[in-house]
């Protein structure tokens, strides 16, 4: 800060102390400054304030004493002679300063929770104090907030608190919760049980906790699954890169002395700088990580760590804002459509002199749409305007898609294998990809079900405590297996989301969950399966056999025919997957044509359970059934797919 800025802040703080003696608020403002600026403002504040205590008419002002740290480079505390607080000693006034801290740190969920604990009158009073304080300029760097109020039964109520820049709304920090008849129209997943902190919106963590909650079943679980799938945001690639960089820097800092040393296998002087050779000797092999770390000393690594963490936090904040906005938009649309459909008759009315004052014509006009809360949004008005009741229910169905999610719960036989003979339950059609990007693993699993179902039957063991232990024969690292993973039974919401429940049992769900947990999934284990690993590693995990990839563009039909006959027509059948570069399919069977290999038939299956690879001119499945399975000639197969992956023994 330059001299003018320091003088300006000092005068504002001095004025605040003169009129309120609010030490806590002043300290909060000071703590937002850098140490050197804070110390300088503290010195000037002490001199300016105390000079006023000696002027005529200021005898009631207690003396101010500022204490500094031992090196005098930072301010430590402010003390009044009698520690007297005149203006800010009521609960509402003291609460304003605390709530402004939450606004400054953009902790909107906590802000909403605290405001919702107050009664309507106190909430409005506190919010107005916050607005005045944010616009006073006494909080350096703090955002400016603006209130919206509404009238209800003659009372003025707080509608929302927005963070603004001039006329531009940057974020909604608080919005009044909905109640009464509107709440009755809401789907159950929007009730208080999900919104555990009563913040007025649902966070990703809150939804994730509901996904793995075993007490939420049937239709409620389907609704949770819909919400999770409809507002889920793809994992940010930059966030993933920053995470790996931070981990690498932390490891380098924590083991710096053991890396930078003399002698085998390092063969370098202990010079205080990390060389590429030293880093490789400690397992830093990724080229971009090596470029990031090599040539740096310990101090530079510490600075790099601070920079990366700052970037990470900013990106997380931005991602959270995007998620929050998408979440809120989906929920608001669902609220509006559900309400309008349920109370259609009372909206589309012919009574004159009322709010609506329009003909009862079977459609909603803009004037008929309720003029309160979420219905004031142009987006919501556009969503509802001109629709009749059937159209509204169509909208609701497209928004909720609950029947689709419910299907995977209702149809599921809630045990690993539906039949006492496990092999009767292990069929390729039981595997279906849901909300996780794990097509490679599921394609390998589907093909394994077609070729070696006994391998799947041996993987799952039910434990006495109700959990399952999955014993994969191999590993993801290339080492020999087995790799054992213990998981909780999949919940109804997990079955709906990840399509793991069928009339054949929940063995696909169990294996998906174990695979996701093995790859690092935490709150919702299946999400660890996102960003498919290489199919060869997944085949090795399932069978403990080495696997290879073949580029089809580099091969002719005769060689691929030989590979497929070797894996499918011999005594020992083995799984094969086929990849397009963006998606993986399972190869289920092969029917060779000895006279013309290119005319041989390949049976393939899309793990989605729909989306046949080959379509007719009308873009319909060739066999008329969209189940993701179709036959194609080897020539067509080699044109459509780029690679195949299979095991070798």
The model's confidence at residue 465, banded by pLDDT at 50, 70 and 90, is very high
pLDDT beyond 80 at 348: no
Q: Inter-axis angle of helices 389-400 and 218-231, to 10 degrees?
A: 80
Sheet holding 601-605, edge to edge: 546-551, 643-648, 576-579, 584-591, 601-605, 629-633
Q: Quick check: helix, strand or coil at residue 124? A: helix
> Is residue 174 within a helix (H) or strand (E), and if so which, with residue range?
strand 168-175
Percent of the chain beyond pLDDT 90? 20
More confident of the two residues 340 and 262: 340
pLDDT beyond 60 at 445: yes
Residues 460, 468: Cα–Cα separation, whole Å: 7
Structure tokens at 515: 């695979």
Q: Inter-axis angle of helices 218-231 and 402-410, to 10 degrees?
A: 130
> Which residues partner with 174 through β-bridges?
161
For residue 428, the 8-state DSSP code is: G
Other beta carbons within 10 Å of 510 = 22
pLDDT of res. 22: 57
pLDDT of res. 194: 60
pLDDT of res. 151: 66
Tell me the backbone φ, ψ of residue 508, rounded to 5 degrees.
Answer: -65, -35
pLDDT of res. 280: 83
**Is residue 367 within 8 Å of 358, Cβ to Cβ?**
yes
pLDDT beyond 90 at 638: yes
pLDDT of res. 209: 81
pLDDT beyond 90 at 497: no
pLDDT of res. 595: 92
Structure tokens at 504: 């054949």
More confident of the two residues 487 and 341: 487
The model's confidence at residue 408, banded by pLDDT at 50, 70 and 90, is low
The torsion angle over the Cα atoms of residues 353, 355, 358 and 359, rounded to 10 degrees, is -80
pLDDT of res. 140: 67
Other beta carbons within 10 Å of 196 = 14
Place of tokens 């309160």: 372
Please enumerate, as own/partner, the contacts of 607-614 that have beta carbons within 8 Å and a separation of 24 or more. 607/431, 607/432, 607/433, 607/439, 607/442, 607/443, 607/446, 608/432, 608/433, 609/429, 609/432, 609/433, 609/499, 613/585, 613/640, 614/640
Structure tokens at 481: 């297996």
Least confident stretch, 186-190, 226-230, 300-304, 461-465: 186-190
pLDDT beyond 60 at 147: yes
Q: Inter-axis angle of helices 91-104 and 108-116, to 10 degrees?
A: 160
pLDDT of res. 575: 93
Structure tokens at 150: 């509404």
């Amino acid at each position: 800060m330059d001299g003018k800025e320091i003088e300006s802040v000092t005068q504002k703080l001095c004025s605040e102390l003169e009129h309120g003696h609010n030490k806590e608020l002043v300290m909060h403002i000071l703590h937002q400054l850098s140490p050197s600026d804070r110390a300088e403002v503290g010195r000037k504040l002490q001199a300016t304030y105390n000079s006023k205590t000696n002027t005529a008419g200021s005898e009631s002002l207690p003396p101010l004493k500022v204490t500094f740290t031992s090196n005098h480079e930072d301010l430590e505390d402010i003390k009044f002679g009698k520690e007297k607080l005149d203006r800010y000693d009521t609960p509402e006034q003291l609460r304003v300063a605390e709530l402004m801290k939450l606004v400054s740190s953009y902790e909107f969920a906590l802000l909403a929770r605290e405001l919702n604990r107050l009664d309507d009158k106190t909430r409005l009073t506190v919010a107005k104090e916050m607005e005045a304080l944010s616009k006073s300029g006494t909080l350096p760097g703090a955002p400016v907030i603006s209130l919206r109020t509404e009238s209800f039964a003659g009372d003025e109520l707080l509608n929302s608190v927005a963070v603004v820049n001039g006329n531009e709304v940057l974020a909604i920090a608080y919005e009044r919760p909905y109640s009464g008849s509107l709440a009755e129209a809401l789907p159950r997943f929007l009730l208080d049980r999900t919104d555990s902190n009563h913040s007025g919106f649902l966070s990703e963590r809150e939804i994730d906790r509901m996904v793995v909650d075993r007490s939420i079943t049937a239709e409620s679980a389907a609704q949770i699954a819909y919400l999770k799938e409809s507002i889920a945001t793809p994992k940010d690639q930059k966030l993933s890169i920053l995470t790996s960089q931070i981990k690498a820097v932390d490891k380098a800092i924590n083991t710096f002395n053991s890396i930078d040393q003399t002698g085998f296998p390092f063969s370098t002087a202990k010079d205080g700088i990390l060389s590429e050779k030293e880093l490789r000797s400690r397992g830093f092999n990724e080229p971009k990580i090596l470029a990031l770390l090599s040539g740096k000393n310990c101090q530079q690594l510490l600075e790099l760590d601070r920079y990366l963490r700052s970037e990470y936090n900013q990106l997380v904040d931005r991602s959270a804002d995007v998620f929050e906005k998408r979440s809120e938009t989906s929920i608001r649309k669902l609220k509006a459509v559900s309400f309008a459909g349920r109370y259609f008759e009372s909206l589309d009315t012919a009574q004159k002199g009322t709010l609506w004052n329009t003909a009862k014509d079977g459609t909603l006009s803009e004037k008929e749409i309720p003029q309160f809360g979420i219905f004031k949004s142009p987006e919501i008005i556009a969503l509802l305007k001109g629709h009749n009741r059937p159209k509204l229910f169509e909208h609701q169905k497209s928004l909720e898609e609950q029947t689709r999610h419910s299907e995977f719960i209702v149809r599921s036989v809630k045990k690993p294998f539906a039949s006492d003979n496990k092999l009767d339950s292990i069929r390729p059609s039981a595997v279906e990809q849901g909300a996780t990007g794990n097509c490679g693993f599921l394609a390998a699993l589907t093909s394994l079900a077609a070729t070696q179902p006994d391998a799947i039957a041996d993987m799952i063991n039910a434990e006495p405590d109700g959990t399952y232990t999955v014993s994969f024969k191999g590993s993801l690292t290339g080492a020999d297996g087995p790799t054992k993973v213990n998981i909780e039974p999949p919940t109804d919401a997990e079955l709906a989301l990840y399509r793991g429940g069928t009339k054949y049992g929940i063995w696909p769900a169990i294996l998906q969950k174990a695979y996701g947990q093995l790859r690092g999934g935490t709150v919702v284990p299946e999400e660890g399966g996102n960003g498919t690993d290489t199919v060869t590693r997944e085949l090795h995990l399932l069978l403990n056999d080495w696997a290879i990839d073949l580029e089809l563009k580099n091969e002719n039909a005769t060689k691929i025919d030989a590979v497929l006959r070797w894996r499918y027509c011999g005594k020992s059948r083995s799984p094969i997957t086929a990849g397009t570069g963006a998606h993986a399919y399972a190869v289920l069977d092969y029917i060779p044509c000895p006279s013309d290999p290119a005319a041989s038939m390949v049976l393939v299956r899309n793990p989605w359970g729909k989306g046949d690879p080959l379509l007719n001119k009308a873009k319909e499945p060739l066999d008329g059934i969209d189940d993701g399975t179709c036959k194609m000639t080897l020539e067509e197969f080699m044109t459509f797919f780029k690679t195949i992956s299979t095991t070798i023994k």
